[in-house]
Amino acid sequence: MDTSMMTFDSKLVLIFSFATFCFWIFLAIKSLLKKKNSNGCVLTGKEIKKAISKGEIGITSKKDKVDLDSLIGCASIDLTLGTEFRKYTKNKKPIEIREKTNYQDFTELITLSDKKPYLEIAPHESCLGITEESVYVSKNLSGLISGRSRFARVGLFVHFCANFIQPGIEAQQVLEIFNASNHPLRLYPGEKVCQVVFLKMFGEGVNYNGKFYKQKL
């Protein structure tokens, strides 16, 4: 277009039209980004509190009332160790890795008490633990369990595999614990050893109804 032949008013109209077009493009991009972020994201501490108030997340304990303010962080919830553990038996019989294999057949249950306040795991030894708290997430949320850096730095793997919390689950969380250090580590019930990061699902979720829906040690 030859703008030299245009009047001043025509140029203003063209500039205004172009500016309006850019404005609407900006709003469209902003809207798309907002929708994208709202469909799948990690919940902040503030959003976790909102989800709890709506009943989309639940953190409960059979023993005591849960002090959520002491557990909710910037973008996660801390969970504490329960009193039950499972240690692998000394039997060196091979374990068949099949769907029907039951881990309880190769472990022994240990319950701690005041007389036995901690469980000691040797260097490079693994065991199973369980959280004191039960975690509920709605079908539109899921979660990931992670260790805490203060304990990871002394060699504690709180959950070395299978750390995904399925949508719709409501259960205590079994922890696959491993001592990666060269020192024995002592585990104490009530310590905040792990944290859960909550994720918003992309699309409509389906409630988990598998083998470990109401998991126990």
Return the residue matching tokens 């992670």: 146
Q: 48-73 burial by CB neighbour count: b if 16+ within 10 A, else e?
A: bbebbeeebbebebeeeebeeeebbe
Residues with Cβ < 8 Å from 108, sequence gap 6 or more?
A: 86, 87, 89
Q: Which of these is catalytic: 47, 176, 191, 204?
A: 176
- Residue 13 CB neighbour total at 10 angstroms: 12
Annotation marks residue 47 as catalytic: no
E strand or H helix at 54: helix 45-54
Give the residue numbers annotated as catalytic, written as ranges.
Answer: 176
